[in-house]
A and B are shown apart, each in its own frame.
Chain A
């Protein structure tokens, strides 16, 4: 049977379209676009080939061994050189053509050291407007070995958050050393030499028990220390609780944060 002419023409058109699609799919499209594995591995290769900009911690050793050695001994030993100097691969490849900037400005160090309540306790923080203003930080601290020129006197240098909390509390007038015995070495190696912390309910009782003050006064002159004498004096203004019933047998600081004790609100 003879095929009608219009069917033949239609067949030709369909054939042409099919040919175009097949050619496009198998000849013109690169294999990386079609095969899943290939397109993935080509993406991986493209990612892997991207240029590196941070050279890494061991890259500066060869040429700046004096700085590396100095930094390794100081408080900044954990810091990457490029955390302060910026990406330096170009510099390691051609040191004279590209030199990294040195952050000499006073604005830089507070990026890490400005006081911020959200920073972990014990991280050294300062108030940039109050801490030796107008002089660049590096005028007093060596950026690569930033020992404080002398050991700080105030606990607040390192415990700013506690100090600020206590300052607005009813315990504002109590010195830190009323409750903590602090060896001098704590200020130099704070993590190895630890101050004492109150251990018993009776400790808080020295000011807050019904008979507080009396006991201290009785002890005065025999074994009383300066701290105990001071405590006896302040104890006079302290609100009293019955130690045998108040707070049952829990430690006082399980309910009252000692640096911000709230009892009346």
Chain B
């Protein structure tokens, strides 16, 4: 084959591929509806309990955490892993509990208890000024640094105030994991894409509470809609003096802490 023949062949071959694809799309369009509708129908549709269609513009979600109610039982951590299919090992978490121990000499120790290490700790009570648990999770910031750094636009804030990751776009570069000041992201070892708390988006659109809120025995977590006047979160925000984590970074977190100790980072 000489050069001329090759180029002629190529000229015929490549556009032909395009035409074939066009024909494929045409056939798809001729079927029930446009291609997008067909794809949507393929995914199981979320049941709408109220019968009304879920409209993201009506909602804006956040969470309240009452630090003094947390008993550190890790029910939320386990429920989150079960609900969201988070790998059990290595220790990746979408939500987790931290134990703060403030000692007389000003030293602050932070441990994250998991099922295995929870009760092994032995400390000299006399040095300990105070000790308490703090639940942590993605803050679903209104100004999320993780979204800013994503080179392919795979992570974004939804209209209803949740920061999501598009697993099909994510290239696993870990920029967002580095950028998150709260350590709320991890690289899922199975998909090699970034994983994080979604406020249990699939539950919330069905009118259910996130799994961690559902199982909390002491109501240390309050989930709600900042756009609704009657939501528990709005009442929580009115009744408590609130703090967010690392306010100096201007990330505008939407996870609000009541009775937060100054040592908590």
Give me the interface of A with B, judged by CB distance under 8 Å.
Answer: 9, 12-13, 16, 19-20, 23, 27-28, 30-33, 36, 38-40, 42-54, 56-57, 76, 78-80, 82-83, 86-87, 110-112, 114, 116-120, 123, 164-165, 168, 260
Contacts and interface: CB of A to CB of B under 8 A. Distances in A.
Contacts of A40: 156, 158, 166
Contact of B17 (A23, A33, A120): A23
Contacts of B216: 80, 83
Given A27-B21, A45-B43, A117-B125, A82 B203 contact: no
A118 B101 contact: yes
Most buried by B among A12, A40, A76, A110: A40
**Of residues A28, A111, A118, which shows the largest number of chain B Cβ atoms within 10 Å of its Cβ?**
A118
A146 to B, nearest CB: 12
B208 A56 contact: yes
A111 B73 contact: yes
Contacts of A20: 14
Q: Per DSSP, are chain B's interface residues mostly helix, strand or loop, or mixed? A: mixed
A9 B202 contact: no
Contacts of B22: 27
B241 interface: no
A87 B82 contact: yes
Contact of B166 (A39, A114, A117, A119): A39
Interface string B64-92: 00001111111100010011100000000
Interface stretch (B32-40, B176-184, B248-256): B32-40
A130 B74 CA distance: 23
B166 A83 contact: no
A54 B83 contact: yes
> Chain A: interface secondary structure?
helix
Contact of A47 (B44, B68, B128, B164): B164
A54 to B, nearest CB: 5
Given A27-B18, A117-B128, A119-B71, A43 B166 contact: yes
Given A48-B201, A168-B126, A28 B21 contact: yes
A78 B218 contact: yes
Given A32-B39, A116-B119, A49 B131 contact: no
B202 A52 contact: yes
- CB-CB nearest 4 A-B residue pairs: A23-B18, A83-B215, A50-B202, A43-B166
Contacts of B156: 40, 43
Contact of A19 (B14, B75, B83, B126): B14
A42 B14 contact: no
A53 B118 CA distance: 26
Contacts of A45: 40, 43
A82 B118 CA distance: 21
Contact of A49 (B7, B43, B168, B217): B43
Given A23-B17, A31-B35, A86-B82, A120 B202 contact: no
A46 B202 CA distance: 9
Contacts of A46: 43, 167
Interface in B100-135: 100-101, 118-119, 123, 125-126, 128, 131-133
B174 interface: no
B198 interface: yes
Nearest to B199: A47
A27 B11 CA distance: 18
A246 B45 CA distance: 73
Given A47-B201, A111-B73, A118-B101, A38 B132 contact: no
A120 B68 contact: yes
B206 interface: yes
Contacts of A27: 18, 21-22, 25
A39 B39 CA distance: 12
A45 B99 CA distance: 36
A168 B125 CA distance: 9
Contacts of A260: 126
Interface string B208-231: 110100111111000000000000
